[in-house]
Chains A and B, each alone.
Chain A
Amino acid sequence: MRVTGKKEGLAMKSRHLKGFIAAGVMIVSINANAMLVAYEDSLGIMGVNQSFHNELFLNYSLTPHFAVGERNIRFVTTDGVKQFFVPEADFLIYRWNNPDSQANFYAGGGYGAESFMSQTQGVAMANVAADWESRKYYLDAEFQSLIANDTREYNSAKFRAGFAPYLADFNELSTWFILQFETMPFVENNLFLTPMIRLFYKNVLVEIGADFQGNFMFNYMIHI
């Protein structure tokens, strides 16, 4: 009985260590490029870091309408920490280019693996995103669905609205104030309202914020 307990303790320590390493890799990978699809032959690195959610997304745009990528996600769910490793394909379904604004509709999907309690199973992912932005205002809506082989679903949605207090040119630092509403039914306190500040300089974007439950957020995006 005691041996089993010791083994379980070691296994738990090992799982925690793996979790820390995975989270560390996601956070430290800032230097390594995402809109879902960018311009042809561009590399995108995007990271999302919240206490209950870490995400690293790497993608490469083969054409202005098609990109391939890899998404690694870590959720602290009500069941425990779950990790997802999903290669994906993304499409820019349509872009509206106007003189003063741009709007996009993206869709993508992939199939990969979910890791939980040392067990691995297949997982399918689908996502859709739509955004509109001018130089002063920004709106965004994203939906993501992960469906594991055991039929468990991890559906999340994110809505954003933002404004820029001043107009910055290409060689100037651009600042945005953004309010994000996010729902993740599979994590504790599943609704999150997060005010954040976005700083944007050339090909680097960072977002820093905290929700009203005290969870800090640090996101980044780099295009190469």
Chain B
Amino acid sequence: MVKILFFVTAGFLISVSSYAKELTVTVNGMVCSFCAQGIQKKLTAQAAVKAVDVNLNNHLVKVDLKDGQDLSDPTITQILTEAGYSVSKIERN
């Protein structure tokens, strides 16, 4: 019984942790506040997104995801392309 409980709990924890909580996206062409605003607006409109933080100095966009939610790399790339920019790297934390 203890073993079963252990495996169920471990399985649950592994499945939850398999979702990245935060994505860090390196964006090309993001040089001004209008760019940042457009990117923030587009990403914030996604149901899976809790918060977006844009860092113009490092060309980085940090996307905080809701619990149990995810955004695939192709989806992120598409969103940023529609905002007018290109993605050079996506990291999952």
Q: A residues touching B (Cβ–Cβ < 8 Å)? A: 35, 38-40, 42, 63-64, 92, 95-102, 133-135, 167-170, 174, 200-203, 205, 223
Contact = CB atoms under 8 A, between A and B. Distances in A.
11 contacts: A38-B34, A39-B38, A42-B38, A63-B82, A64-B82, A101-B31, A102-B30, A134-B31, A168-B56, A170-B54, A223-B37
Contacts of B54: 170
B57 A99 contact: no
B82 A39 contact: yes
Contact of A169 (B41, B57, B86, B88): B57
B29 A135 contact: no
A203 to B, nearest CB: 5
Nearest to B58: A169
Q: Which of A92, A95, A203 has the most CB of B within 10 A?
A: A203
B42 A39 contact: yes
A39 B83 contact: yes
A99 B57 CA distance: 11
B36 A170 contact: yes
Interface of B: 28-42, 54-57, 59, 81-86, 88
Contacts of A202: 33, 36-37
Given A39-B41, A100-B31, A170-B37, 18 more contacts: A39-B84, A40-B42, A64-B83, A95-B84, A97-B28, A97-B86, A99-B28, A133-B31, A135-B57, A167-B56, A168-B56, A170-B40, A174-B33, A200-B32, A202-B33, A202-B36, A203-B33, A203-B37
A169 B31 CA distance: 10
A205 B32 CA distance: 11
Contacts of B86: 97
A177 to B, nearest CB: 15
B55 A169 contact: yes
Contact of A223 (B38, B42, B81, B82): B38
Contacts of A92: 84
Q: Which of B30, B33, B36, B55 has the most CB of A within 10 A?
A: B33
B79 to A, nearest CB: 10
A204 to B, nearest CB: 9
Contacts of B29: 95-98, 101-102
A95 B86 CA distance: 10
A174 B82 contact: no
Contacts of A201: 33
A38 to B, nearest CB: 6
A98 to B, nearest CB: 6
Nearest to A201: B33
Nearest to A42: B38
Contacts of A135: 31-32, 56-57
Contacts of A205: 33-34
A98 B34 contact: no
Nearest to A95: B84
B37 A97 contact: no
